[in-house]
Structure 1
């Protein structure tokens, strides 16, 4: 029984970032699931995106190219595993590095608590992704860019 617990443990191979966003949950969901919006904020600082496919439904594909500030293109392919509007998205990043991401959107009055969990296949892979690609910092920057985009979008929408 004890050995079984160890093999199922996710300790040492997961990233979690949470952030209280100043926008209602339906708007956060829209900004997260609409390819026209996500292209504006996805990725770490300095990156831009080309969204080729984003079919937000179970089994749907998400193909994008992240364009790094140094001109390097990073192709990404994911498969949506679970989509419960406007509460939860689970996708499997099937291109390297492989991971399972779970994003939850919890309504907090007029705000939304976003919790973003990434589970890597192994602790070694997690360590390499964090050390080499600074995935922990990249995820924080990604959420920060989302928050800024939401603020601008929300202000512009309510200024009309």
Structure 2
């Protein structure tokens, strides 16, 4: 299914198999820049999460086995404890992670992000696999995982566009 996202580009999302959600989006920047925006805490805190939520990082170590411990703050004041463990990092092509509410969350899900070159742009494909069909269904129906994932990638696209504009502005003032 294709939907429009905040950045104006089309985001594609599908529910495949019985435990998986796949969301993809083309972002108007090199995969090196998109990968950097996804892997540096100074960038992540500026765009991570669905629309209306903000992110506070408690700790961040981007390396295989490292973790990102953070809180997402909802517009209604609700805090969502989050924990990511980085499982595989292949710059600038691929990241694999385990995402839950805490280090030992039995309901944590796995995500693999592929950063694919698409000319001067990058297609990011986020493939998420939940431990059970029921947890996938709950994430989709109760927590709006597809819409939230599309919004998150839309926020990434908008943030990277801002970085690209600022870089162009800086180059314009150097001459």
Q: What TM-score does the superposition give when structure 2 sets the normalisation length?
A: 0.83
Gaps of 5+ in 2: 1-15, 171-175
* Residue equivalent to 1:3: none
1:52 CA displacement = 1.7
* Residue equivalent to 1:25: 31
Question: Which is worse superposed, 47-56 or 61-70?
Answer: 47-56
One of 155, 158, 163 as aligned partner of 1:148: 158
One of 84, 95, 104 as aligned partner of 1:89: 95
* Residue equivalent to 1:53: 59
1:11 CA displacement = 1.2
One of 43, 61, 74 as aligned partner of 2:80: 74
In 2: Cα distance, 1:24 partner to 1:54 partner:
24
* Residue equivalent to 1:64: 70
* Residue equivalent to 1:40: 46
Gaps of 5+ in 1: 1-9
In 2: Cα distance, 1:46 partner to 1:73 partner:
12
Which consecutive aligned stretches of 4+ in structure 1 deviate over 6 angstroms post-superposition? none
* Residue equivalent to 1:5: none
Aligned residue pairs, count: 151
1:22 CA displacement = 0.3
Counting helix residues as a fraction of each chain, which structure ranks higher?
1
* Residue equivalent to 2:118: 108
In 2: Cα distance, 1:99 partner to 1:154 partner:
32
1:126 CA displacement = 0.6
1:83 CA displacement = 0.4
Question: Which is worse superposed, 92-101 or 11-20?
Answer: 92-101
RMSD between aligned residues: 1.2
In 1: Cα distance, 2:79 partner to 2:117 partner:
35
Q: What TM-score does the superposition give when structure 1 sets the normalisation length?
A: 0.90
1:108 CA displacement = 2.0
